[in-house]
Amino acid sequence: MGMGRTPPVGLMRITCTVNGKQVSADDVWAGESLLYVLRERLGLFGSKNACEQGECGSCSVYLDGKLVCACLVLGGQAEGREIVTVEGIGSDGALHAVQEAFVEAGAVQCGFCTPGLIVAAHDLLNRIPEPSTVQIREALAGNICRCTGYAKIIDAVHLAARGLAQSR
Amino acid sequence: MEFLQPTTWTEALEMKAAHPEALPIAGGTDVMVEINFDRQRPAAVIDLTKVAELEEWGTENGMLRVGAGVTYSRIIEELGGRLPGLAMASRTVGSPQIRNRGTVGGNLGSASPAGDAHPPLLSSGALVELASASGSRRVPVREFFVGPKRNAMRNDELIAAFLVEPTRGPEQFSKVGTRNAMVIAVCSFAIALDVERKRVGTGIGSAGPTPLAAIDAEEFMAGVLDESGLWERPADVDPNAVARFGELVAAAARPIDDVRGTAAYRRHALAVLARRTFTWAWDERRRSA
C-alpha cells in the first residue's frame, strides 16, 4: 500500500492545527470523535458534548474553514487539518464582537449552547455580513437552545453584524 | 477497530479489497452516529476524506459525473443550476453543519429509504458508479436500492461517483417533516420533466422499504401531456389528470406505520406532494415556453 496510514493497532497519534497551534494527541482510539479528542485529550472544553448525533450543534467548530459538528468527525479525519474552536474565536479579556453581542443582547441563559452558537454565528457573519432574520434562522437551524426561545439570540446576531460593520 | 486512511483512489480500492469488512466513512453524518451510540462497531473504518478524486465533478459525454465525496453544500453552490432537483433536496438536508460534511455518496452507501438525495436521483435516472480493485460498473439508481438500508454493492466495492444528465426541464422536490431543518422525511417526492424526450420522472422517499419510482404515474402523466400536445404547446393540464397522477404516486408507495407517521398519512401526503410538485414544475414549463 502507498502513502496512507494503517496503524497495526487501534490507537494512534493525531497531529493537527487547533486555533493556530500545531498539537498532537496520543492513544486516540480509531472510533473516537474529534469532539472527544478536543475535550478529553486536548483539554479544550468550549465545544460541548450533548447529542453526539449532529442534532444540537453544541460542538460546532471549523474544520478547514467549514462549520461542522465535531461529534461527527472521526478523530483520525482531523489528521493534518486545521481546526478552530470557540476558544480560537475570542481570547481572555478580549471577546469577539459576536461574543460581546450575545452578552449585551441577553442571548445567554444556561450557556450550554452558547459556544456552538458563537461559532455558527461567526461563520454566518463571515459569509453574509448583514444577514436578514430569515438567513439567521436558516444558518442557526442546527443549533438547539432550550432556554432562550431564540429571540435574544437572533437579536444578538443582528447586533454583532452592526458592531462588525462599524468596526470595518 | 482499525483506522484505514488511503490518500488516493487506487489505494482506497486496494484497502477495501484487503479489508472487505471495513466500513467506509466520508462526512460521518450517518457513520459517526452509529459509532457514537455503539450501534455498530466495525472491525475497521476506511476514511475517504483524503482521497481528492472523490471531491471532483465534471462532464462526461454530456452527463455530469459527480464524485461521491462532493458535499451537499457544494451541490447547492456549484451544481444548483444544472441539478436543480437535487439541489432543492440538498437544501432540506440537516443543517449547515450537516450539509458541509454530508455527501451524496454517503447517502447512497447508507441507502436509507429516507435519504433526501434519493428521490431526485430516481426522478432524473441517475447512475451509481461502483468501483473495486478489479474494475468498475455503473448501476442505474432505480436498481441500486434492494432493501431497507441495503444496496447493490459488493463488499469489495466503494462508491466512486454518480452520473446524471444536467437538467432537461423543470424539476421539483418536496418533503414532509415536523420542522424546516434537521428532519428525517416523513415522506418526500421528486419530479423531473424531460421536455425533449417527453418523459416524466418521479422519486418517492421514506414511504417504502427502499426509495421508489412511481412508474405507472410517470407513464400516465407523460401520456396525458403527449395526447393533448401539451409538451409542444404547454397549457392547463386537466385537474382530474393531475389528481389521478397523485393517486398513482400514492399507490406506488409501500409505506409502513412508524414513529414519524402512519402509512395512511404518508399515502395521503404523497398524493398532495405529487400534485403540488407537478403543478409547480408545469407552471415553470409554461413560463419558459
- pLDDT confidence of residue B57: 98
| Residue A4 reports pLDDT greater than 90 | no
- Report residue A5's pLDDT band, with 50, 70 and 90 as the boundaries: low
- pLDDT confidence of residue A91: 84
Query: What is the domain range of residue B260?
Result: 171-288
Is B229 part of a structural domain of the chain? yes
B95 and chain A in contact, CB less than 8 A:
yes
Q: Where are the domains of chain A?
A: 11-88, 97-167
| Residue B289 reports pLDDT greater than 90 | no
Examine the fold and report which residue of B137, B164, B191 is the final residue of a domain before the chain moves on: B164
A141 and chain B in contact, CB less than 8 A:
yes
B69 and B184, same structural domain? no
* DSSP symbols for chain B: -EEEB-SSHHHHHHHHHH-TTPEEESS-TTHHHHHHTTS---SEEEE-TT-GGGG-EEEETTEEEEETT-BHHHHHHHHTTT-HHHHHHHHTSS-HHHHHH-BHHHHHHHT-TT-TTHHHHHHTT-EEEEEETTEEEEEEHHHHEEETTEES--TT-EEEEEEEPPP-S-EEEEEE-SSSSS---SEEEEEEEETTTTEEEEEEESSSSS-B--HHHHHHHHHHHHHTTTTTS--PPPHHHHHHHHHHHHHH-----BTTB-HHHHHHHHHHHHHHHHHHHHHHHHHH-
ipTM rounded to 2 decimals: 0.95
- pLDDT confidence of residue A2: 44
Q: Which of A40, A64, A77, A79 to mutate to test the interface with B (most CBs of B within 10 A)?
A: A77
Residue among B7, B8, B97 whose CB faces A57 most closely: B97
- pLDDT confidence of residue A9: 58
Is B120 part of a structural domain of the chain? no
Residue among B5, B100, B182 whose CB faces A68 most closely: B100
- pLDDT confidence of residue B41: 93
B39 and chain A in contact, CB less than 8 A:
no
- Report residue A88's pLDDT band, with 50, 70 and 90 as the boundaries: very high
pLDDT, average across residues B257-286: 97
- pLDDT confidence of residue B98: 98
Q: What is the pLDDT of residues B172-191, one digit of tens each?
A: 999 999 988 899 999 999 99
pLDDT, average across residues A7-29: 89
pLDDT, average across residues B124-149: 98
Is there a contact between B226 and B119 (Cβ–Cβ < 8 Å)? no
Fold designation for A97-167: DNA polymerase; domain 1 (1.10.150)
- Report residue A80's pLDDT band, with 50, 70 and 90 as the boundaries: very high
Q: Give the CATH superfamily of A11-88.
A: Beta-grasp domain (3.10.20.30)
Q: Which of A95-99, B46-50, B113-117, B177-181 has the lowest mean pLDDT?
A: B177-181
CA distance B275 to chain A (A): 27
B205 and B154, same structural domain? no
B258 and B229, same structural domain? yes
Q: Which of B9, B34, B95 to mutate to test the interface with A (most CBs of A within 10 A)?
A: B95
